Amino acid sequence: MQISGFCNSAALRPISRFVACIGKEEGNSLVEFAVTMPVLILLMLGAAELGSITYASVEVANAARAAVSYGCQTSTTAADTAGIQKTAAADAPDITLGTTTVTTSCICSDGSASTCKTTDCSSSNIETILTVQTQASVTPLIHIPAVPTSFTVHGQAVQKVLQ
């Protein structure tokens, strides 16, 4: 019985070639690249989407701050709702603002409540508080099934009107 002849027989040559190929690492990098690339692309797209929503959120908040800064210059500009809304829209040129809400409230300088009537604050002055709220709808570039198709971002700024 010859064992060495059996190992070199024609029946075992394909198996021995397969075993020899298993030990080689040619092409492993390409397979690893092909497996990890879709995951990396999804991560990059997710980061870009998050960045665009964050950018819109910052724009909306800055528009509210610019609008309240304009409105708080004097009592006249605090009553100029159209001018406040125009200032908010001008400060966010890269996005389309939804509604811009302007509200005023009053408080007495001694801390007591006021309804903005001059008779409310007998021993102190009336202080007018201007509040501007902005919002915008952001639509992501990529729609993922479990994620909403649009996001609404809000901005708010509150400031005392100069007398």
Whether pLDDT at 46 is above 50: yes
pLDDT band at 4 (very low <50, low <70, confident <90, very high): low
Domain contains 82: yes
Whether pLDDT at 56 is above 50: yes
What is the Cα Rg of the chain in Å?
34
Domain contains 6: no
Domain contains 7: no
Least confident stretch, 80-89, 119-128, 134-143: 119-128
Quote the pTM value.
Answer: 0.73
Least confident stretch, 22-26, 59-63, 88-92, 105-109: 22-26
More confident: 33 or 135: 135
Total tally of structural domains belonging to the chain: 1
Domain contains 3: no
Q: pLDDT of 6-33, one tens digit each? A: 555 666 677 666 666 666 666 778 888 8
CA-to-CA dists, residue 104 to 48, 68, 120, angstroms: 38, 11, 16
| Residue 135 CA, distance from chain mean position | 13
Query: Mean of the per-residue pLDDT values for the chain?
Result: 84
HEC letters along 87-143: HHHHHCCCCCEEEEEEEEEEEECCCCECCCCCCCCCCCCEEEEEEEEEEEEECCCCC
pLDDT at position 1 is 45
The Cα 126–Cα 160 span in angstroms is 11
pLDDT band at 85 (very low <50, low <70, confident <90, very high): very high
At CA 51, angle to CA 46 and CA 54, rounded to 5?
125
Q: Which helix (H) or strand (E) holds 155?
A: strand 151-160
Do the strands 126-138 and 97-108 form a parallel or antiparallel pair, or are they unpaired? antiparallel
Whether pLDDT at 136 is above 60: yes
Supply the range of the domain harboring residue 141: 12-160
- Mean pLDDT (whole number) for 91-96: 90
pLDDT at position 11 is 65
Torsion, Cα of 113, 115, 119, 122 (10° steps): 10
Query: Which residue has 């996001």 as its token pair?
Result: 151
pLDDT at position 40 is 94
